[in-house]
């Protein structure tokens, strides 16, 4: 196949990756399903929220295993399995709602859905890194931007569907959609021919080459792998913690703006007004979660991955402190702040795959980066726990986590091609 045809093919795979990630990212709209489930079945808040916690834990661990399979079996195989699991899990979640079985919801949407989503999440990233050695930041940012924006679209579409036909039927419809779109996208995935490079690309300028790529067992023995893991863990911990309490925080800033005595005197009207204000911040910041993934990843191609993480850690740490101390106050200013913080949260996800490929090469990136996503699983437990259990200190703790990330990012030194080659020979 000519280089021109391969150039066209790689952009087709990139577009399929965006479609897949848009579907996968709808899971961040879990909150629109949670309250209707609680009201319909009388399940407790913590009981129901456990579904999401199971999902978040499974997605990172599944990505690690899925990344290994991508390297061995190829991207089409892994993404197809993931798409089938994700679609079936959504259909089974509808059954769980219809029969009122919480355990089935844990197993379906939480366990099976998390595994399927994790398989699918890591596959396009590992595939696109191999197809785009010349623009790793841009293309991985474009792909995971879809994951960030998925919640925005689901947040708009799902509520009226739930109101009209119920949670179960909504999940049945989306289960079929996921099976068609995710599996259909997966069937387009494939690796580039061995040794292929884009026209005019000099591999020496792109970090560690494919020939000098480190296997996971070699990469994990380097301090760089663990430093990157820690940077991802700390950035995601702060971001997920904020996301878990974003609506209540927004409502606390909006509350003083409600001056209408009639609204203040009516608990139902007051609750609706506050919920709408919180939902608005969640929806708008979700857009920036997606856009930030593309922006920061693209910037990393220009100014470097390390510089991007140093900038994100430093600015976020300051902002969290300013909010915690009351220097930043007011609903609309908090909206701006939330948009920036979620842009940095998404930016960490988008920039890290290219950072890892620069450090260890693209040859075994599925497993190398897949296991790095266990940082996501760990952060999914720590971040929401901190913001739920230490409400008064949570913003200060988040700032401390980000300062720790800043120290690690500043200390990070990229591995050279020569060191990579020597390690490979050894």
Q: In sequence order, which residues have a C-beta less than 8 Å from that of residue 404 and are 6 or more positions away?
A: 230, 234
pLDDT for residue 424: 47
Higher pLDDT, 163 or 176: 176
Give the pLDDT band of residue 420 (cuts 50, 70, 90). very low
Q: Looking at the chain, how many residues does it have?
A: 426
Mean pLDDT of 120-147: 85
pLDDT band at 211 (very low <50, low <70, confident <90, very high): low
pLDDT value for 207: 59
pLDDT band at 417 (very low <50, low <70, confident <90, very high): low
Residues 84-118: b if buried by 16+ CB within 10 A, e if exposed: bbbbbbbbbbbbbbeeeebebbbbbbbbbbbbbbb
| CATH topology agreement for domains 1-193 and 205-426 | yes
Distance CA 209, CA 303 (A): 20
* The residue to which tokens 């842009």 are assigned: 343
Averaged over 235-241, what is the pLDDT? 93
Model pTM score: 0.78
Mean pLDDT in residue range 401-417: 90
Tokens standing for 321?
């402190």
How many whole angstroms separate alpha carbon 135 and alpha carbon 207? 12
| Nearest partner of 388 among 231, 236, 249, 234, judged by Cα | 249
Q: Does residue 52 carry a pLDDT above 60? A: yes
Give me the residue label for tokens 């480190």. Answer: 214
State which fold the 205-426 domain adopts. Answer: Growth Hormone; Chain: A; (1.20.1250)
Which residues are within 8 A (CB) of 145 and not within 5 positions of it... i.e. 6 or more apart?
18, 21, 290, 291, 293, 294, 346, 350
CA-CA distance, 307 to 88, in Å (whole number)? 41
**Confidence at 348, pLDDT banded by 50, 70, 90:** very high
pLDDT for residue 210 is more than 70: no
Gap between the Cα atoms of 414 and 206, Å rounded: 12
Domain covering 1-193 assigned CATH 1.20.1250.20 in the classification:
yes
Average pLDDT over residues 206-215: 71
Per-residue pLDDT for 362 more than 90? no
Q: Which two tokens stand for residue 313?
A: 């850690």
For residue 416, what pLDDT is reported?
63
* Residue 232 φ then ψ, to 5°: -65, -45
pLDDT over 50 at 89, yes or no:
yes
Contact 343, 125 (CB under 8 A): no
Q: What is the pLDDT of residue 209?
A: 62
Torsion of Cα atoms, 253 then 255 then 258 then 262, to 10°: 170
Domain range summary for the chain, segments of one domain joined by + = 1-193, 205-426
| CA end-to-end distance (rounded Å), the chain | 35
**Which pLDDT score is estimated for 281?**
85
More confident residue, 307 or 274: 307
| Average pLDDT estimate for 131-138 | 83
pLDDT at 273: 83
Higher pLDDT, 212 or 233: 233
User: Looking at 57-61, 236-240, 355-359, 420-424, which range is the least confident one?
Assistant: 420-424
Question: Exposed, middle or buried: residue 315 (CB in 10 Å: 0-12, 13-18, 19+)?
Answer: middle
Average pLDDT over residues 355-380: 88
Q: Are 104 and 43 in contact (CB under 8 A)?
A: no
Which has more pLDDT, 426 or 55? 55
Q: Name which of 284, 282, 347 is nearest 313 in CA terms.
A: 347
Q: What was the pLDDT predicted at 203?
A: 63
For the stretch 285-320, pLDDT in tens is: 888 988 998 899 889 989 999 999 999 999 999 999
Task: Please tell me the predicted confidence (pLDDT) of residue 321.
Answer: 96
Over the chain, what is the mean pLDDT?
88
């Amino acid at each position: 196949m000519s280089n021109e045809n391969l150039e066209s093919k790689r952009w087709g795979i990139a577009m399929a990756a965006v479609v897949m990630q848009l579907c996968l990212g709808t899971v961040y709209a879990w909150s629109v399903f949670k309250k209707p489930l609680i009201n319909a079945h009388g399940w407790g808040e913590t009981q129901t929220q456990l579904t999401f916690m199971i999902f978040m834990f499974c997605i990172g661990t599944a990505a690690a295993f899925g990344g290994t399979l991508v390297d061995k079996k190829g991207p089409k195989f892994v993404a197809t399995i993931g798409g089938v699991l994700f679609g079936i899990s959504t259909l089974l979640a509808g059954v769980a709602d219809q029969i009122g079985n919480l355990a089935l919801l844990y197993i379906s949407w939480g366990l099976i859905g998390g595994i399927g989503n994790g398989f699918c999440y890591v596959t396009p990233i590992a595939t696109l890194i191999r197809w785009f050695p010349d623009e790793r930041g841009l293309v991985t940012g474009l792909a995971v931007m879809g994951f960030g924006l998925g919640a925005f679209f689901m947040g708009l579409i799902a509520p009226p569907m739930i109101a009209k036909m119920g949670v179960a039927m909504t999940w049945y419809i989306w289960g079929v959609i996921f099976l068609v779109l995710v599996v259909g996208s997966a069937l387009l995935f494939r690796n580039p021919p061995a040794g292929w490079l884009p026209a005019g690309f000099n591999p020496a300028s792109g970090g560690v080459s494919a020939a000098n790529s480190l296997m996971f067992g070699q990469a994990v023995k380097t301090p760089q792998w663990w430093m990157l893991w820690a940077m991802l863990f700390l950035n995601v911990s702060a971001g997920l913690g904020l996301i878990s309490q974003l609506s209540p925080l927004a409502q606390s800033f909006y509350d003083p703006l409600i001056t209408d005595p009639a609204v203040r005197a009516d608990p139902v009207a007051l609750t609706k007004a506050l919920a709408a204000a919180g939902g608005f911040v969640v929806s708008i910041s979700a857009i920036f979660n997606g856009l930030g993934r593309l922006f920061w990843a693209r910037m990393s191609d220009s100014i470097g991955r390390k510089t991007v993480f140093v900038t994100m850690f430093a600015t976020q740490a300051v902002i969290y402190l300013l909010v915690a101390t009351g220097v930043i106050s007011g609903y609309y200013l908090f909206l701006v702040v939330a948009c920036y913080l979620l842009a940095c949260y998404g930016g960490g996800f988008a920039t890290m795959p290219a950072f890892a490929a620069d450090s260890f090469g693209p040859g075994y990136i599925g497993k190398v980066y897949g296991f790095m996503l266990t940082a996501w699983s760990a952060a999914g437990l720590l971040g929401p726990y901190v913001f739920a259990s230490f409400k008064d200190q949570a913003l200060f703790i988040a700032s401390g986590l980000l300062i720790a990330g800043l120290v690690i990012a500043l200390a990070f030194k990229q591995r050279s091609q020569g060191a990579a080659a020597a390690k490979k020979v050894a």
